[in-house]
Structure 1
Amino acid sequence: MSKLLPPEVIKRTLTGISIPARPQVLVQLENELTRDDPDPRVIVRLVSGDVGLSAAVLKTVNSPFFGLSRRISSVAQAVSLLGMRSAAQIVTGLVLKTAIAGKAGSLERFWDSAEKVAGIASHISLSIPRGPRDEAYCFGLFHDVGIPILMQKFPDYRQTLALAEKLSDRPFTAVEEERHATDHATLGYLVAKGWFLPEAICEGILYHHDPSVFDDKEVVSSQALTLIAINALAEHFHDEYFRLRSNSSWERMGDRALDHLGLQEDEYCDLREDLTTMVG
């Protein structure tokens, strides 16, 4: 399993950076879910109490990626169909957007991409035996959370993004480390730990740019590898379809991700065609 980050790495990563506080709604959701007999009505009441959040939940579950047979018009229906824990994972990802404040419109493209990747990841998980659908969606929204935080801290961080995209033969995190003495994967891991997300999600965030984790299965759990692989495929499909460009991370880890997921070439092509039809 993943080793604890050395204290000096944590200190360096968090220098001048404040981890966004865990929203109270997540604390209340966890308190209810950890009860011996959690009440779905409490979950519905907590989510419905925030108009913006309830609207976001309905928009999410009614997206084509969730493939529901009928349109959902209430949070109660969403919780009933998805289950309390799945609904809570979706809520966790959605409240992240409001917790990471930015100048109006400055992060619009980032969150739009994150939401699309999360939706694609959720759909991909349905093709995997015992696919972690709710975790895949949460991971899709959460995995790059360090980027908007670093964007707010470093005025030249957009230049780092452009440089990392240009230097496609080098890991994104290596470019960040050179320019800022930290990287978004490490910072995202610390945010996820601070929000008490499942360990597999935390591990996956820390290593989602590291192809070598597929070679050494002792580094992270199998579930974390599955989340990394699903997300890599989702980002690849997203960039290919929505941004009309190749994905350098996929070029480095694509074969290993497909192998871990057990997807053959024909299955990959079918999934790609399916998603293209869905968002077309």
Structure 2
Amino acid sequence: MQEEIIERIVFRTVDIPSLPPIAMKVMNLIQDNYASLKALEEIISRDQGFATRLLRIANSPYYGRDRKIEDIPQALLLIGFETLKSLVIATSLRDLHRRFGIFEQRLWEHSLGVALCSSLLAMVTHMATTDEALVCGLIHDVGKTVINNAMPELYIQIYERIYKEGRLLIELEDETLGFNHTIIGNLIAKKWKLPEKLEMVITYHHTYPYPDYEDQAFADICNIVRVADQICLNLGIGLKESFITKIDYESLGMTEDALNELVGLFKIKFEKQKEFLLS
């Protein structure tokens, strides 16, 4: 009953967008065990903007290739089905913004930072694949983008209250709106028919311990994104908090020395890729 009330409030207040058609087709094909690279190539080639972005990603510093990737088949072979999910989602999220000022850029920068940091945490802890962690980090805050699209002036005011009152964003969202970005994100994930693991990360990336440990892999990826989020907030990547968030590295089985080493590597990698990723 409570969920139905929240949904009614949300749908009266916020327009939950549809996944762009090209993204929906690609996501469906990626999840089809019998899909071929040829079928994927045909879908992508019909959308010039998407194809261009795919080639830019394939030639980005992230992949560090010596030779230039010049066509879609080469790019797909390099990137693969799994990593292509992150490109589909990144393109969709970037295109969700109805405007793109400083505030929106900082929201986007934070998601990119959490994506890269999650990928590094997955590599170090072996608790998830790096590609999976990258995708989950990219999409974890999709609810913020949608709320900001619906009520940009009010959402900026909520963020300003973080600094004035020293409180958590999610508390201020609940207090001001009657819902928060994880609830919005959950509705988006359901509407987009995203894989269950992505839906869980969007919904529970502020929750610890994870509420249902039937699937340990779900709990692990939620925790990786949660810790990556803490690291990015402490480093001021994107929209800063008014207080230092404790980094719960021990929940990932890491030592403080291991955390410091990872943070150092992350800062170097993010600065190198920041200009490319934000363009």
Fold conserved between structures, TM > 0.5? yes
Name the Cα RMSD after superposition.
Answer: 3.1
Could you tell me whether the CA contact under 8 Å between 2:144 and 2:181 is conserved in 1?
yes
Correspondent of 2:136 among 139, 145, 153: 139
What residue in structure 1 maps to residue 260 of structure 2?
A: 269
What residue in structure 2 maps to residue 228 of structure 1?
A: 222
What residue in structure 2 maps to residue 238 of structure 1?
A: 232
TM-score by length of 2: 0.80
Could you tell me whether the CA contact under 8 Å between 1:114 and 1:141 is conserved in 2?
yes
In structure 2, the CA distance between the partners of 1:272 and 1:171, relative to structure 1 (3 Å rule), is same
What residue in structure 2 maps to residue 127 of structure 1?
A: 124
Counterpart CA distance in 1 for 2:263 and 2:31 is: 38
Count of equivalent residues = 268
The one-letter code matched in structure 1 to 2:216 is S
CA deviation profile, 1:202-245 (whole Å, cap 9, x unmatched): 122112223xx32x653684333333332233334434446499
Unaligned residue ranges in structure 2 (runs of 5+): 273-279
TM-score by length of 1: 0.80
Could you tell me whether the CA contact under 8 Å between 1:200 and 1:221 is conserved in 2?
no
What is the aligned-residue identity percentage? 23
The one-letter code matched in structure 2 to 1:251 is T
The one-letter code matched in structure 1 to 2:252 is L
Correspondent of 1:39 among 28, 36, 39: 36
Could you tell me whether the CA contact under 8 Å between 2:141 and 2:182 is conserved in 1?
yes
CA deviation profile, 1:19-40 (whole Å, cap 9, x unmatched): 1112222332244335452111
Correspondent of 1:105 among 101, 105, 109: 101
In structure 2, the CA distance between the partners of 1:202 and 1:245, relative to structure 1 (3 Å rule), is closer
> What is the deviation of 1:160?
0.3
SS in 2 for 1:38: coil
- 4+ residue runs over 6 A deviation: none
CA deviation profile, 1:181-207 (whole Å, cap 9, x unmatched): 111111011111211112122122112
What residue in structure 2 maps to residue 161 of structure 1?
A: 159
- Residue 5 of structure 2 corresponds to residue 11 of structure 1: no
In structure 2, the CA distance between the partners of 1:54 and 1:10, relative to structure 1 (3 Å rule), is same
Counterpart CA distance in 2 for 1:32 and 1:165 is: 44
